[in-house]
Each structure stands twice: as C-alpha cells, then as structure tokens.
Structure 1
C-alpha cells in the first residue's frame, strides 16, 4: 500500500488510478469511520472504479497508517486530506465520508470549497458527541487498551452495526483487522472522535451538492442527526437505508452503490 509522509507522520492510502481509456476521469475520495479503514469502501470502489479514479485514506493510527505522535483531532485530519490531495496532484474530488470521515468532509468542504465538487456524508453529524456517548466510548477505550477488541465485541458491534448484521460473514474479518491495530494509536483516534468540536457553523457554508445517507438503525449517529445536517447544508439529497446501522457501506453495499452512483452520475458524467 502506498504511503504519504507529512512531517513525521506516515499516512497510508489506496489509489486505483484513472480507469483505462479515461485519463481525466473524476476522482472519488473515500474517508472511513472510526475503527475501520479505507477498506470499508471496497464494495463502492469496486463498483465505481471503471468510471472514476478512487482514492481512500487510512487515518492516523488506523488501517495501515501507523501510530502518530499526535494530531488525531478533526482539524489535523482535514489538513492530512488536503495535503494528500496536493501530494497526488488532485485539484478537486467527489468526497465520500462516513462517520469520522464525514466530520472531516464537512470541514474540508467548508474550508477548501474549490477542492470539493460533490460531498457525500454517511452516518455522520455536525454536532459534538453526546456526553453519555463520550463517557461510554472513553470507558470502552480504556478496556480496549488492556484486553484488545475481542472481549468487547458484544459491546462494540451493536454500536457499529444493525442487530441483524452483527454476525455477518465479514464481521469476523473486521474484528481481526481491528485486533491487529496499534492500540495506542486507536485509542487516540477514539478519544479525538469523542472530544470533537461541533462544526454546524461550518456546515452552513458548504456550497457543494451534498448527498446524505444514514442507516435506519444507526445507534451511534441516529437518523435525526443526519436530518439536522440536511437542514444546515444548502443543497442536499437525503436517503435513509433500511437494514443498516452505522456502517452502511458494508451492511447494505448494493443500496449504497445504487444511490451513490446515481448522485455522482448527475454531477460528474
């Protein structure tokens, strides 16, 4: 997997390159949710790569990106994305962010409007984390530091997935990858998400056409938060996905692919 060096920080990413015969194909940039990596968009990348160049980041301390000395806050992650795009000489993207990736996407679209052609926000919000959730996530992080993720599977899966998906075939592979992550880096990522600042004042400045998707059974970021996000951004489309929780790209990939393809086709083809 290629990496990008930003100061002392190494950031991993994937890049399909331009499709054959389409050197100027538009770029779709994917930003994953907490506890995952860019691989959570594999169904979407496979679906889109014939028509788009697909780039996916692994945020600091997650996936194939090693632990960083600091900078896990949403502002720094936003600059990480901007610098990666500059490194790849990509001037503009169709940004797709889920949960934590959406927190970054809101900031990127507000601060670098010339760089975001369209914005897709999935299972995300512009508000700060609820105090009760903040306490719960930090407690789980402390246990995770000592035990790893497997003893916490029955606590973590219902936060990330709809009840009917907690035993899906791909869940064991996800848990195995998560178990191999550097614990200190993952804990910093968890704490940064729990302590994130709200960004509603930035969401209202977004000018990019925006698609909002949320799992109907999302326990981490309930649909009402996504609906509120749609009220803040000027031009939005909203889709609630039945049978999905907080990880819709993996729980209901066919539905996500169809909605995302239709949206991208309208603005890029």
Structure 2
C-alpha cells in the first residue's frame, strides 16, 4: 500500500504524518486510528496493520522526531515531550477524535498523548507494552529483544526493524533508551480515563503475559488480548488478527450518546 506523507511541526519539533488515499490528509467525523511506532523504528513495521485498518476507518501513521530520517532534536526528549508533540501535531492536522495505537515504546508515547489531550483520545491500544517489570535493566531488555528477534519474528519484520535502527542511528537511539527505561508505564497508565486494550503476541519475549495482564487491570476499562503464534511485532505477522481485536474493542467501548 502506497502512503502519502506530510511534514508536521509542533513544539519546535518536526515529524511526519502518513495516510493512504488523496493528496491531503482525509478525515471525517468518526474517530481515526493513529499508529505510533517505538524506539528506533518508523511507520514501516506498522504498514500492514495500517492497510487493514484503513479499509474501515481513517488511519494515520506517524514518524516521530529523531526517527525515520526526521530531524534530530537538539536535546533529549522525554516521553511527555513526544506525547505533547503527537497531540499538537494531530490537532494541527484537524484530527480531533482518535484511537491511539502504540507499539513497544510507542505505548509510552500513546499514554502521554492521551494524557495531553484526554478529550480527543477515545480509546487507547497498547501493543507489546514496555518496559516489562522483569526487564528493568538495559541488559535484560536487550536480551529479551534479541531472543524475540531470533525465535519469534520473521525475516521481513526483522529487516524492517533493524534497517530502521540503522536509519535512526546509535546516537539518537542511545539518547532515548534511558528515557524509555525510566518511564513507569503502569503508574502513568492509571491516570488515563479512556478504555484501554492491552495486546501482545503469544510468543512475545519483550512484553510478558503477566505484565500485560497487570496493565489491563490498572484501568477501570481495561481489556487484554493475546495473538496466537506471534512475537513482539505481532502487527506485522498477524495484521488481520490484530486489526480485528482492535476493531472489536473499539466497537464494544465506543462512547454512547
């Protein structure tokens, strides 16, 4: 699927928004899906999920500042900085009602975006959330990611992820890695008022089942779904199953007039 893109500026930072279809970003009255990548990567490993979701609703992917060839910020960014950028960039594009779908560190970004603009975030989807309480050191987190890539992912998903790591470069990756490790996902999630879906691949070594279920229980309207046979990058290997889980959750938890 060919995506169109547009540079977006917010808070002195520069990123990119991508969508399928016409020459300008389309948006109707219904909530849009907004896909948010994790550390070091880009929209590319979300492309299959984007394609499936966009068949039924407006769907956007973001390339965040410092990643995917976007300009590197002149300072380390906090997770809250990224959340504010997402909320401001979407508002600038006229996207004012959305379902935030974050993957890995993108889960952290999605949480902060929901907290930055709670009136716009209808639902929150957390795929492969980090950092699992079992992996609170860089060594343990790196080992979990390595084992997942070796044992649970496909060559195409590994290619997308690791070529994006090269494009990001070690300097910015290592600048943001301690930010990811220090963020307390469970604590911040408790402040989110919107319904939350926590989703993981059955074979995910990065986001374990106990951790994922605990996050789902941290909010009043939390749900948990596991995708059979998939690893950390479940949305690449099983995009139809992931999209169906997301759509079912959104339908079941949509606000009623």
TM-score range, shorter chain: 0.7 to 0.9
Aligned equivalents of 1:261, 1:227: Cα separation in 2: 20
For 1:81, which of 69, 72, 86 is the aligned residue?
A: 86
Q: Could you list the runs of 5+ residues in structure 2 that have no partner in the other structure?
A: none
For 2:32, which of 20, 27, 30 is the aligned residue?
A: 27
TM-score for the superposition, normalised by structure 2:
0.83
Quickly say closer, same or farther: Cα 1:75–1:127, change in 2 above 3 A. farther
**Cα distance, 1:260 vs structure 2:** 1.6
Which stretch of structure 1 is more off in the superposition, 206-215 or 22-31? 22-31
Aligned equivalents of 1:223, 1:17: Cα separation in 2: 37
Partner of 2:146: 158
Residues 45, 54 of structure 1: 8 Å contact kept: yes
Q: Does 1:45 align with 2:36?
A: no
Q: Does 1:14 align with 2:2?
A: no
Q: Could you list the runs of 5+ residues in structure 1 that have no partner in the other structure?
A: 141-154
Q: Does 1:178 align with 2:183?
A: no
Alignment root-mean-square deviation, CA: 3.0
Residues 37, 105 of structure 2: 8 Å contact kept: yes
Quickly say closer, same or farther: Cα 1:201–1:90, change in 2 above 3 A. same
Quickly say closer, same or farther: Cα 1:161–1:254, change in 2 above 3 A. farther
For 1:205, which of 191, 195, 206 is the aligned residue?
A: 191
TM-score for the superposition, normalised by structure 1:
0.80
Aligned equivalents of 2:101, 2:179: Cα separation in 1: 20
